[in-house]
């Protein structure tokens, strides 16, 4: 999922971290204009989904799979 997000939104900086071992993950997204979006969730996938919503033309994918669907980039929600 992160590779697809980076492909669709190459101008965004994205950080993922957990402050407690085994605890929830926080995803932070920084736009070039300084806007910051933050979401903490049980999994990174949940946090990404809360920030970005469903990615365009992406069927549910096994996160361990190396085959990712390819499609035309969507309109940037951070533009």
- What pLDDT score does 2 carry? 85
Establish if 63 belongs to a structural domain. no
Residue 65 has pLDDT above 60, yes or no: no
The arithmetic mean of pLDDT across residues 13-21, rounded, is 93
Establish if 64 belongs to a structural domain. no
- What pLDDT score does 16 carry? 94
Establish if 74 belongs to a structural domain. no
What whole-number distance in Å separates Cα of residue 16 and Cα of residue 40?
A: 10
Residue 74 has pLDDT above 70, yes or no: no
- What pLDDT score does 75 carry? 58
Range of the domain at 31: 2-52
**What's the total number of domains in the chain?**
1
What whole-number distance in Å separates Cα of residue 25 and Cα of residue 45?
A: 9
Establish if 6 belongs to a structural domain. yes
Establish if 66 belongs to a structural domain. no
Establish if 57 belongs to a structural domain. no
């Amino acid at each position: 999922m992160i590779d697809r997000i980076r492909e669709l939104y190459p101008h965004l900086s994205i950080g993922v971290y957990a402050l407690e071992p085994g605890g929830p993950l926080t995803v932070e997204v920084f736009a070039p204009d300084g806007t910051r979006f933050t979401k903490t969730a049980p999994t990174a996938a949940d946090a990404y989904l809360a920030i970005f919503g469903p990615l365009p033309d992406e069927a549910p994918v096994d996160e361990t799979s190396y085959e990712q669907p390819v499609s035309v980039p969507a309109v940037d929600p951070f533009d």
